[in-house]
Each structure stands twice: as C-alpha cells, then as structure tokens.
Amino acid sequence: MLNTIHELQWSGSQVNTRLLLADDDVELLDIARILFRQTDQGLELLVARSVKEALEVLDREEVDVVIADYLMPDATGLDLLEAVRCTSNTIGFIIWTAHSREDVAIKALNLGADFYLLKGTDIKEQLVSMCGIVRKVIDSKHKTSSARPAKEIPTEIASEFIHGLSHDVTGVLHNIMGYATLLEDDCDKTYIQGITRLVAKLAERIKQAVSDVDSGILIRK
C-alpha cells in the first residue's frame, strides 16, 4: 500500500510524460500504478493523497499532466486546479470524480481543466482509457505551444527600433505643433489639412511599429 508520496517509475522504460494522480483512495493509487505500467510504459506516475501533497510534488517536480479527484481530505480538486493555473497554463489537468455536479463541471472548465470525467463502476477499464486521454491532453498542449512560438528580439535591434520610432514620432509632433502655432495667427485650411495628414502619418507609423513588434522581426532601416 502507499503510505506517503511516491514516485513510481518503471525500470527499463523510456519515460517521456510525467503524470501526477491526486486521490485519497489508496487502493485506486495502487491499481493505477499497475495498470499504467502495463498500458503505457512512457508514463512516469507520481501520486498524492491530498491537495497539500500534490502541491508539494508540483513544487519539486516537473509534471506534464495532473489527474485530481474532486473531494480530498484538505481541499478540492478545483482548489488544486486553481493553484496550478496561477503558475502554469501548460500543465494538463483532468478532474476525475465520482461526484456528478453540473456547477462543479462548469467551474472546472472555466478554471482551465482540460477534461472533467466521472468515475464509473469499472475503475480498471477507466484507468486504461485514461492513458489515451492523457496523451490527447499532451498532444493538445504541444500543438498550442507550437502555434505560439516564443518571440525573441536581439537587444541591439530592439534598441535601434525604439530610437528610430522615437525620432519619427518626435519629428511628426514638432511639425504638428508648428502648424498649430500658425493656426493661431491665420486660420488657413491648408494648415488644418497639414495637421490631419501628419496625424494620419503618426497613427500609421505607430500601427506599423506594433505590427513589427508582434511579428518578432525588426528590420534595420
């Protein structure tokens, strides 16, 4: 039986996914250890019997997916989910519970759970199926990560870009101020048209600057 937090890794296997199962049912944790090992040797299983233990595991270990019961001795699976989402959106999270409550399911999904699953009568069959669900969560997270690659802009280029933008904006503003001064002496439509043109130019320059930053590619001009 499991008496404390355990890290359960099968020897002789290539581990590529770390899974944390948080549930106060010790027998279920024992069964999960056996069935996960038989079903998918690419999984490394870590377990916790309370939210506190789960947070301790997450604090010291890198975890890809969390499976949590809803009701646990010290808090709920939603409390654990909320704590995880405060620090990471990349960890997969599955609520797996025997309690069928629509309000809990809605709150779980709103907090960022990937799945809300009900425990059935055949826990063994569900645990085997859970391996496939875990893989789906991992694939989804990887696709999301790939779709939003990190944008890194060299400091030198960023500095040049900012100075160039500052020079352009300052120049346009000085011209606008000049037209405004002329308007004080002579209300000429030409001056008004000039101000309108410069404001439009300034707006377009700022719009282009935002686009350049968003693209992550700044070109020296």
Count of residues making up the chain? 221
Strand partners, 76: 71
Q: Are 128 and 13 in contact (CB under 8 A)?
A: no
Q: Would you state the pLDDT for residue 31?
A: 92
Strand partners, 115: 94
Q: Is pLDDT of 38 > 50?
A: yes
Q: Band the pLDDT of 9: cuts 50, 70, 90.
A: very low
pLDDT tens for each residue of 96-154:
998 888 899 999 999 999 999 999 889 889 988 898 899 899 888 777 655 555 555 56
- C-alpha–C-alpha distance, residues 143 and 147, integer Å: 6
Cα 175 to Cα 22, 29, 166, 167: the distances in Å are: 65, 72, 14, 13
Alpha-carbon dihedral of residues 139, 144, 145, 146, nearest 10 degrees? 90
Distant-in-sequence, close-in-space partners of 51: CB < 8 Å, separation ≥ 6? 22, 68, 72, 74, 75, 76, 77, 79, 80, 83
Region 16-41: mean pLDDT is: 91
Region 82-95: mean pLDDT is: 93
- Please give the structure tokens belonging to residue 171: 């120049």
- C-alpha–C-alpha distance, residues 117 and 108, integer Å: 11
Q: How far is CA 194 from the centre of its chain?
A: 47
- C-alpha–C-alpha distance, residues 24 and 16, integer Å: 26
Region 72-95: mean pLDDT is: 94
Q: Are strands 43-48 and 17-22 parallel, antiparallel or unpaired?
A: parallel
Q: Would you state the pLDDT for residue 201?
A: 74
Q: Is pLDDT of 69 > 80?
A: yes
The domain defined by 6-147 carries CATH number 3.30.450.20 = no
- What percent of the chain has pLDDT above 90? 39
More confident residue, 184 or 143: 143
- Amino acid residing at 67: I
- Please give the structure tokens belonging to residue 138: 């991992």
Q: Would you state the pLDDT for residue 37?
A: 85
- Please give the structure tokens belonging to residue 62: 């890198």
- C-alpha–C-alpha distance, residues 27 and 24, integer Å: 9
Q: Band the pLDDT of 177: cuts 50, 70, 90.
A: low
